[in-house]
């Protein structure tokens, strides 16, 4: 049984991919001569640095947290559980050998839970307000990364509550 008391929330783009994937997408778009695809791929290359840095930050944070005694004072990486920078943070925690929390939202054409979050700590919400409540309730720190309207919504909701 795991007791979750302290979390570090990671908010950020659902569209970011790792550097290797972004570079491959750009090369493929350039080879195909797809100008629109090249512009989109260049944006993903720019976002990729945040993906890679988020993996590293979450890994370091999770490894550091594992050294805190008593264990009830440790911090858990927490994300929206989806792709992009959320996946990167869950991935970093896993690479450190630690569990991470995913607060997913059920949307008809959007995100699915990423496979890096701990299965037993993957929760799916049907209402944004309940999901945001749990982000706020557990958070001791927040890492806000580049993102879109969803990231801004979550960030400003927490800022308002603080």
Partners of residue 101 on adjacent β-strands = 78
Instruction: Write the pLDDT tens digit of every residue in 51-61.
Output: 999 999 999 99
How far is it, in rounded angstroms, from Cα 70 to Cα 58? 21
pLDDT beyond 60 at 1: no
pLDDT beyond 70 at 47: yes
Question: CB-based contacts of 122: which residues, under 8 Å, 6+ apart?
Answer: 81, 101, 102, 104, 113
pLDDT beyond 60 at 42: yes
Burial of 49 (0-12, 13-18, 19+ CB in 10 A): middle
Instruction: Write the pLDDT tens digit of every residue in 91-138.
Output: 999 999 999 999 999 887 766 889 999 999 999 999 988 999 999 998
Quick one: average pLDDT of 20-36?
95
What is the pTM for the complete model shown? 0.92
Q: Which of 3-7, 73-77, 119-123, 139-143 has the lowest mean pLDDT?
A: 3-7
């Amino acid at each position: 049984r795991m007791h979750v008391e302290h979390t570090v929330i990671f908010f950020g783009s659902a569209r970011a991919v790792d550097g290797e994937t972004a570079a491959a997408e750009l090369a493929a778009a350039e080879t195909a001569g797809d100008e629109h695809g090249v512009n989109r791929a260049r944006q993903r290359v720019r976002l990729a640095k945040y993906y890679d840095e988020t993996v590293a930050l979450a890994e370091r944070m999770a490894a550091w947290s594992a050294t805190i005694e008593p264990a009830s004072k440790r911090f858990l990486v927490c994300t929206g559980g989806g792709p992009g920078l959320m996946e990167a943070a869950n991935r970093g925690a896993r690479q450190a050998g630690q569990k991470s929390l995913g607060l997913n939202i059920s949307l008809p054409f959007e995100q699915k839970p990423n496979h890096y979050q701990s299965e037993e700590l993957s929760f799916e919400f049907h209402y944004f307000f309940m999901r945001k409540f749990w982000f706020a309730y557990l958070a001791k720190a927040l890492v806000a990364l580049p993102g879109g309207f969803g990231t801004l919504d979550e960030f400003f909701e927490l800022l308002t509550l603080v």
